[in-house]
Chains A and B, each alone.
Chain A
Amino acid sequence: MMTIFVILLALLGAPIFAVFGGLAFEAYARDGIAPSLIISELNRLATMPLLRTLPMFALGGYLLAESRAPERLLRLSRAAFGWLPGGMPAVAVVACTLFTAFTGASGVTIVALGGLLLPALRADRYGERFSLGLVTSGGNLGVLFVPSLPLILYGVIANPVESAVTMERLFLAGLLPGLLGILALGLYGAWTAKRGGIARTPFSVRELGAALWAARWEAPLPVLVLAGIYSGTLVLSDAAVITAAYALVVECLILREIRIRDLGRIARDAMTLVGGVLIILGMGMAITNWLIDQEVPQQVLAAVRAHIHSPVTFLLMLNLFLLLVGCAMDIYTATIVIVPLLLPLGKAYGVDPVHLGVIFLANLAIGYVTPPVGMNLFIAAIRFDRPLLVLARASLPFIAVLLAVLALITYVPWLSLVLAR
């Protein structure tokens, strides 16, 4: 009875952490467990070193987003890739993906880059609907790249259940699927450019040099972090500290684009995201433990196995289920509640847990632009001052491209597993 009431409140927009807390109190009371043990779960956050990377990456990403780094990095990628057919859309996809990876799919990408990309696309004579859709949904698959917060969170949650999910394997698994997504969106942009008869901008060595010089302080950071992590020479925890420290030193001390007094506001914005996610995780761990005690994962597994027999059907149902979840829930909450239940299922149907992670994240990333609660739609609606419906329609062709990519990621495990040996 109480449980139904709590779920009803969740649908009315109660904070998820309060919903989880309410459910945890209910469950613990039913089994006569002291409620202080809920806090004991929350307190475990302090003992999970990988979680400390989340505030650091978020702080670094938010600092870069608030400085004029987006402008300079955009100029650089424009000088490097702008001469390609459909060059400007390709630049937009790469820049949005990179920013999503560094700021954890929080809408910061749209806020930081949207105001620069939209006029640039329009100046190159791309249609308004195409440009809006591209800026709203072009960066979604950034969650598959290091150091995205959802990717790290999946690893933190999946590793204790399935030891095959190491951070190294998970990172490498996301690489090709993510690149495939960039390629697909880039081709769609090139096709649009060709159809619209949009002239190509000539390549200029001088502009590339000037752009490189202008971005000399920021450009090394993503290169260092991405190359370091993917090659295995830089461990995640060090990469996080380096990202935050580098961004602090460069933006506050060297370029001085962020004043010390603004630092508090920016840190608060970043920590609002991180605290909001981690408090859900703390409450969620209390529920997950209870569910495992009650053998709920085994019951779900038995129920699913009674109805679904082939792995292909399982993957198809998984895609559909996660699309629905993505419509209602954000990627962080979904990871915290669904992944512990999903891992035994994946194992039963012979899906590698690392491949499962890539499917899971790609699937939910699409949820960012699906109505009714696609967060990017809301943020873009505010940022560009357009009705929600216009943005939802503008995103449709991009959702179609992303769904095609999702199908390839799901049914061609090779893409995820060839690098993640």
Chain B
Amino acid sequence: MPRDGALRRCVTAWDAAERVLLGGLAAGMVILAALQIVLRTFFRTGLSWIEPLLGIGLLWLTMLGALAATGLRKHISMDLVSHLLPPRPRAAAAALVQLFAAFLCARLALAAHAFIGLQRETETSTLLGAPVWVYTWVVPVAFALLALRFVLHAALSAAQAAGRTAPGASADAGRDGAA
């Protein structure tokens, strides 16, 4: 199906973007932190913007890492009950759980948006020429994307519960980085 082709390209591009972003972010933090150590040890100096930038880098890593964890279905959970269920009720339970996660991420995105408003009023410091709140935008954006991802997962699980796809199909799709 041609529609599938477009979707697949989308998924592949997203997957690649995720790897580039997280790889670049992690490697960038290591390089900056190493630079700071070299400057401190051998030249008894340092760059004042590295420290706060590393802190913001961690926040970005947290949000983008959580986003990747959703795509790979690797979120830490406490699944005690669902693996005892037969496939269809299990898929229904998964749909419910993912819908809840989507709802919650949407609420967190709104809360994060409100938080940025708060930060704009109170935080006056700047980092690399931009006000600090600019860097916080990753939080609402990532939560919104998380909500979207969880909605897609929920739709896949619901289709599975209704018997429209072969059992396990959505899990495989998830592992490929779809949704």
Q: Tell me if B22 and A264 are in contact (CB < 8 A).
A: yes
B8 lies within 8 A of chain A by Cβ:
no
Q: Tell me if A267 and B23 are in contact (CB < 8 A).
A: yes
Contacts of A276 in B (CB 8 A): 65-66, 69, 74-76
B10 lies within 8 A of chain A by Cβ:
no
Contacts of A268 in B (CB 8 A): 18-19, 22-23, 68
Q: Which residue of B lies closest to A263 (CB)?
A: B23
Q: Tell me if A55 and B76 are in contact (CB < 8 A).
A: no
9 A-B residue pairs with CB within 8 Å: A21-B104, A38-B111, A43-B139, A47-B55, A49-B54, A273-B65, A276-B75, A278-B62, A279-B63
Q: Tell me if B77 and A15 are in contact (CB < 8 A).
A: yes
Q: Nearest-CB distance from B149 to chain A (Å)?
A: 11
> Which one of A245, A329, A333 lies within 8 Å of B30 (CB-CB)?
A245
Q: Which residue of B lies closest to A21 (CB)?
A: B104
Q: Tell me if A59 and B65 are in contact (CB < 8 A).
A: no
A277 lies within 8 A of chain B by Cβ:
yes
B159 lies within 8 A of chain A by Cβ:
no
Q: Tell me if B108 and A11 are in contact (CB < 8 A).
A: no
**Separation of A237 and B36 alpha carbons in the complex (Å):** 11
Contacts of A333 in B (CB 8 A): 76, 78
Q: Mark A272-289, 1 if CB is under 8 A from B, else 0.
A: 111111111010000000
B20 lies within 8 A of chain A by Cβ:
yes
The B-contacting residues of A in range 233-277, CB under 8 angstroms, are 237-238, 240-242, 244-245, 248, 263-268, 270-277
Q: A55-B29, A332-B76 are in contact. Are A12 and B65 (CB under 8 A)?
A: no
A305 lies within 8 A of chain B by Cβ:
no
B93 lies within 8 A of chain A by Cβ:
yes
A17 lies within 8 A of chain B by Cβ:
yes
Q: Tell me if B111 and A272 are in contact (CB < 8 A).
A: no
Q: Ordered nearest first, which 8 A-B pairs have the shortest CB separation?
A: A275-B65, A264-B19, A13-B79, A264-B23, A46-B55, A15-B75, A39-B115, A36-B114
Contacts of A15 in B (CB 8 A): 70, 75-77, 101
Q: A15-B75, A56-B30, A280-B76 are in contact. Are A271 and B105 (CB under 8 A)?
A: no
Residues of A within 8 A of B (CB): 6, 9-18, 21-22, 25, 34-40, 42-43, 45-47, 49, 51-52, 55-56, 59, 237-238, 240-242, 244-245, 248, 263-268, 270-280, 282, 328-330, 332-333, 372-373
B144 lies within 8 A of chain A by Cβ:
no
The A-contacting residues of B in range 64-112, CB under 8 angstroms, are 64-70, 72, 74-83, 93-94, 96-97, 100-101, 104-105, 107-108, 110-112
Q: Tell me if A12 and B97 are in contact (CB < 8 A).
A: yes
Q: Which residue of A lies closest to B80 (CB)?
A: A11
B59 lies within 8 A of chain A by Cβ:
yes
Q: Nearest-CB distance from A377 to chain B (Å)?
A: 12
Contacts of A373 in B (CB 8 A): 78-80
Contacts of B19 in A (CB 8 A): 264-265, 267-268
A-B contact count (CB 8 A): 207
- The tally of residues in B whose CB lies under 8 Å from a CB in A reads 64
**Separation of A366 and B119 alpha carbons in the complex (Å):** 43
**Separation of A14 and B24 alpha carbons in the complex (Å):** 30
Q: Mark B22-66, 1 if CB is under 8 A from A, else 0.
A: 111111011101100100000000000001101111110111111
Q: Tell me if B139 and A42 are in contact (CB < 8 A).
A: yes
Contacts of A264 in B (CB 8 A): 16, 19-20, 22-24
Q: Tell me if B96 and A12 are in contact (CB < 8 A).
A: yes
Q: Which residue of B lies closest to A42 (CB)?
A: B139
Q: A18-B105, A373-B79 are in contact. Are A275 and B61 (CB under 8 A)?
A: yes
Contacts of A47 in B (CB 8 A): 55
Q: Tell me if B37 and A238 are in contact (CB < 8 A).
A: yes
Contacts of B79 in A (CB 8 A): 11-13, 373
Q: Nearest-CB distance from A213 to chain B (Å)?
A: 27
Contacts of A240 in B (CB 8 A): 33
Q: Tell me if A45 and B58 are in contact (CB < 8 A).
A: yes
12 more A-B residue pairs beyond the given contacts A13-B77, A14-B77, with a C-beta to C-beta distance below 8 A: A10-B77, A22-B104, A35-B107, A36-B115, A42-B139, A46-B52, A245-B30, A263-B23, A272-B68, A330-B78, A333-B76, A372-B80
